[in-house]
Structure 1
């Protein structure tokens, strides 16, 4: 029943928007038939509106004839609402600025001046409509395509994009083998296991993260001392993004964990291969740029040069409505200069649909390049006052669960001393290091009969 209601709501909204945009186009056409020209600020709109109408009509036909996931229909509603709002704003401007045949020359001149003042607003509306048309085109392609690598975002379940339930085209499988990208899901799953429930909420609820997630104008950079929990926070962010992705087919996610313990995960070239590989799984069809790159190298079994993969990545991101890329532990990359050049190139694309996050220690060869293209408002220092909240939650949970301390669980004073000692020694360290200290401190309590005189020191 819910699916039927969603479909009816989407179709009705599309019909209304088609009618509305048709009226606005007619107003422009009517003016053109009299004046033989369209004001400069409206020329692009006159092109975009018919394209919007055509895209909507195609999408409606696809929904009428093709089973479309309920989540896709629900996700379409705010897109259509956004389109409607832009067209309404445009209609208001048209009413104020387009002269009518019976207007006096004075009134026409006045409207011409008003038209000039609205140029920037009309340009903004045009840009927004182009973005919405791109999203609607994506949905239309998804509804009408026979090649859908992901049969539904609900299959994600917070797992790596190479989900076993995904339909993988044979050629796409060959491309994956050709890229030979390392699998970062092992790092992600490991970090999730180490994460204490409800930690990292401060980040997800912060204004900086919310702003980056919804309207990124700059990459997001989390930095801090070794052991402050950057990788755990990366997994927290990914878990949050995967959850959003379940309910919104527009969104695609790729990620990579640089790792001192894995040679392949120290190479920036392998990072690009992994990101390209992951995003290709979330496209409606094999991206043309990647297909061409594969075809040109397949016969000679050559590996793709990094710069060609970067270009394929750029075109792939442009072809997706919303893309999130998360890169953890840049300082564990062994070729940092090359990596920073790649990141600077990606930032230089200035793609409005790309939400890009990195974590690292604050070291010179990373800090200086990042500060050149990461807005100061998009830098989060993982200092003690932020991280210690998570550590305290973890410590309290462990103290509560540890059977060896059960005899003292009613002794608030002793338990408080243990917690205070752990927290005073934490100084922003991650929970793993704190718990090493915790286990050492337990050994300093003779026979667990009570705290020794010196264990707090």
Structure 2
């Protein structure tokens, strides 16, 4: 386990009803903000995801829609749905009992790095993790798939990631986090584009109000600005539990937990499960099916077999 470094960027923003002038002597994220009301005038560190809504302003539907349109965030749900549809049921679930994953999930912050070569099932593994975390109503799971096959190329850079995470973390049905609305107002209510630095700083402010939050990032090796992304993650990992899958090991970025997929028994378990599902409806003698599965599993040796059920 490597030493954990907790860098800091930006400042925590809180306004208390009991002291409305707090912070008035210094410029902040909300400079120029106006025309808003509050569900609960106090900002509090949420100890449960159900309390997050208390830190969100209520806006009319048109305002929420305008902010979402202004962000122009890439949609990672298309990748998630595609992976769910192709994933063989049961594959990847071994990770839920893996000691490194268990430690990561029980922590309050830090990064789990999952490394494996092409075809080791990283995308299906991250999808299984997302499905597992999203089933827990007591926490918030955000995710992103880096995808160099995306024609817009927005799913390969740092800006696209920040836009998507802000959309996932800072907007709720009928509500927007005040830090995001402050940035929207600062950008002349959507007439100007925010800088990448502003997106990053706003995301850090938002992340401080969310507990617990898991962030799953798939295919870091397909990111064209991996160094910049890791720099942004370094500012967030003290607030979030982050899981990353990649063909490569982490460099210039300290992680707390590692899982290596190459040539492990877990990969072979998934291969066997995939092959059994593939041949399950064929009229083969059980002993012949077992022989075929064993030979194909041994022949895979870490190469891609898809792990998808047709």
Shorter-normalised TM-score: what interval?
0.7 to 0.9
Structure with the higher helix share, 1 or 2: 1
Residue 337 of structure 1 aligns to a residue whose secondary structure is: helix
Partners of 1:252 and 1:138 lie apart in 2 by 7
Partners of 1:344 and 1:220 lie apart in 2 by 13
Candidates 282, 285, 289, aligned match of 1:410: 285
Partners of 1:281 and 1:383 lie apart in 2 by 38
Residue 222 of structure 1 aligns to a residue whose secondary structure is: strand
- Find the counterpart in structure 2 of residue 324 from structure 1: 214
Is residue 2:255 matched to residue 1:374?
Answer: yes
Candidates 166, 171, 192, aligned match of 1:276: 166
- Find the counterpart in structure 2 of residue 24 from structure 1: none
Candidates 267, 271, 275, aligned match of 1:387: 267
- Find the counterpart in structure 2 of residue 423 from structure 1: 297
- Find the counterpart in structure 2 of residue 21 from structure 1: none
Runs of 4+ in 1 over 6 A off after TM superposition: 143-146, 433-436
Q: CA RMSD in A?
A: 2.9
Residue 219 of structure 1 aligns to a residue whose secondary structure is: strand
Q: Does the Cα contact within 8 Å between 1:141 and 1:284 map onto a contact in 2?
A: no
Q: CA deviation at 1:134?
A: 3.2
Q: Deviation digits for residues 183-240 of structure 1, max 9, x if unmatched?
A: 1001001111121111112101222212211214421111100110111011100000
Residue 74 of structure 2 aligns to a residue whose secondary structure is: coil
Residue 135 of structure 2 aligns to a residue whose secondary structure is: helix
- Equivalent runs, 1:84-233 vs 2, <5 Å: 134-135=45-46, 142=53, 147=58, 169-233=61-125
Q: Does the Cα contact within 8 Å between 1:266 and 1:333 map onto a contact in 2?
A: yes
The 1:306/1:418 distance shift into structure 2, 3 A limit, reads same
- Find the counterpart in structure 1 of residue 11 from structure 2: none
Of structures 1 and 2, the larger Rg is shown by: 1
Partners of 1:411 and 1:323 lie apart in 2 by 45
Residue 102 of structure 2 aligns to a residue whose secondary structure is: helix
Is residue 2:220 matched to residue 1:337?
Answer: no
Q: Deviation digits for residues 110-152 of structure 1, max 9, x if unmatched?
A: xxxxxxxxxxxxxxxxxxxxxxx7336975674798949xxxx
- Find the counterpart in structure 1 of residue 21 from structure 2: none
TM-score, structure 2 normalization: 0.77
Structure 2 residue runs without a partner (length 5+) = 1-43
Q: CA deviation at 1:253?
A: 2.1
Partners of 1:269 and 1:290 lie apart in 2 by 15
Partners of 2:49 and 2:108 lie apart in 1 by 21
Partners of 1:144 and 1:420 lie apart in 2 by 54
Structure 1 residue runs without a partner (length 5+) = 1-132, 149-167, 437-457
Partners of 1:276 and 1:318 lie apart in 2 by 13
- Find the counterpart in structure 2 of residue 81 from structure 1: none
Q: Deviation digits for residues 60-112 of structure 1, max 9, x if unmatched?
A: xxxxxxxxxxxxxxxxxxxxxxxxxxxxxxxxxxxxxxxxxxxxxxxxxxxxx
Partners of 2:308 and 2:122 lie apart in 1 by 15
The 1:396/1:284 distance shift into structure 2, 3 A limit, reads same
Partners of 2:47 and 2:294 lie apart in 1 by 55
TM-score, structure 1 normalization: 0.53
- Find the counterpart in structure 2 of residue 396 from structure 1: 276
- Find the counterpart in structure 2 of residue 254 from structure 1: 142
Q: Deviation digits for residues 315-353 of structure 1, max 9, x if unmatched?
A: 111112211111110110112222222222323xx22xx
226-235 or 424-433: bigger deviation: 424-433
Q: Deviation digits for residues 252-279 of structure 1, max 9, x if unmatched?
A: 2211100121112111110110010111
Residue 369 of structure 1 aligns to a residue whose secondary structure is: coil
